[in-house]
């Protein structure tokens, strides 16, 4: 038994040492030499930030946008959106990051297959929004969902005891139904978050707020419908969006498109820690979180 334990400790020590060695060897600070060429060209560089998943945590994208904004070698920023949206705060942070960037250099948002709700909110921070004619966008609204297990708990004989500091502290618990007062409380929160969304759309798209409210009933639009309603600027694919940005940045020749620098150490830690946490949250579909997100029943 003693030998087995010693072997296990030795094996764990060797494994840990190898992981540390790999991180030290592959880790780099991430400067302009680490840029990943997406589309080589003869012209100056534009930075590409790809948001291709639900928006639960904006940190890595905001860091990328700010890094491109501060780098004088990057003449413009293209944000590629293929996301159904996500939680309210993270979506707003992306919008603010793009808004900061556009104050210093041109920013274009390019919509892929889907850029709805929080992803559309983020896109509003760009100078111009480009969508494919059949891109799915819109879904301007806010949603929160609660799963309720009260009847199941009663059937299997499970009870929940709660000690709380205030009457709303356990609002949304799956152990019981919402009270009428709690429903009104959550609706008030939803309404305020929705008003913020509508105000940003009206301001950025230069639309009357009353018009925005007629469009903001949660429905989605094709890119072509969105353009007709003033929600996007141009119809085109990512290549077209790149050319639009190059023109705005006054780049001669075909621009060189680069992804953000990413140290390999970051990629390892991101894989082991952040992505794991995001995947768990994603599995739970963000239940109990206020979301700018499109959630079609047909693709669940």
Tell me the catalytic residues: 117, 169
CA angle 243, 245, 246 (to 5 degrees): 65
d(CA 140, CA 159): 39
- Residue 109 backbone zone (phi > 0: left; psi -120 to 50: alpha; other: beta): beta
d(CA 40, CA 26): 25
Q: H/E element holding 18?
A: helix 2-26
Label the pairing between strands 74-83 and 36-39: unpaired
d(CA 287, CA 292): 13
DSSP-assigned letters across all residues of 99-161? HHHHTTS-EEEEEEEEEETHHHHHHTTSSEEEE-TT-EEE----B------HHHHHHHT----
The SS3 call for residue 173 is: coil
The two tokens of residue 43 are 């012209």
How far is residue 174 from each of residues 10, 146, 169, 185, measured CA to CA in Å?
A: 46, 7, 13, 17
d(CA 28, CA 10): 29
CA angle 123, 127, 128 (to 5 degrees): 70
């Amino acid at each position: 038994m003693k030998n087995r334990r010693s072997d296990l400790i030795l094996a764990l020590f060797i494994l840990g040492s190898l992981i540390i060695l790999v991180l030290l060897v592959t880790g780099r600070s991430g400067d302009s030499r680490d840029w990943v060429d997406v589309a080589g060209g003869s012209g100056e560089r534009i930075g590409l930030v790809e948001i291709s998943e639900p928006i639960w945590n904006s940190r890595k994208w905001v860091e990328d946008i700010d890094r491109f904004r501060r780098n004088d070698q990057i003449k413009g920023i293209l944000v590629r959106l293929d996301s159904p949206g996500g939680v309210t705060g993270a979506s707003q942070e992306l919008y603010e990051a793009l808004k900061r960037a556009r104050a210093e250099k041109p920013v274009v948002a390019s919509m892929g297959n889907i850029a709805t709700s929080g992803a559309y909110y983020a896109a509003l921070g760009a100078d111009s929004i480009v969508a494919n004619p059949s891109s799915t966008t819109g879904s301007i609204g806010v949603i929160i969902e609660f799963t309720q297990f009260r009847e199941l708990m009663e059937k299997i004989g499970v009870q929940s005891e709660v000690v709380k500091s205030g009457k709303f502290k356990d609002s949304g618990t799956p152990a019981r139904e919402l009270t009428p007062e709690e429903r009104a409380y959550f609706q008030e929160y939803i309404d305020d978050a929705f008003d913020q969304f509508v105000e940003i759309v009206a301001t950025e798209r230069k639309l009357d707020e009353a018009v925005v409210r007629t469009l903001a009933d949660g429905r989605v639009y094709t890119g072509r419908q969105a353009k007709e309603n003033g929600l996007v600027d141009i119809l085109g694919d990512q290549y077209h969006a790149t050319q639009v940005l190059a023109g705005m940045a006054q780049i001669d020749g075909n621009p060189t498109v680069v992804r953000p620098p990413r140290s390999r150490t970051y990629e390892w830690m991101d894989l082991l820690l952040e992505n794991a946490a995001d995947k768990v949250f994603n599995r739970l579909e963000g239940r109990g979180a206020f979301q700018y997100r499109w959630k079609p029943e047909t693709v669940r």
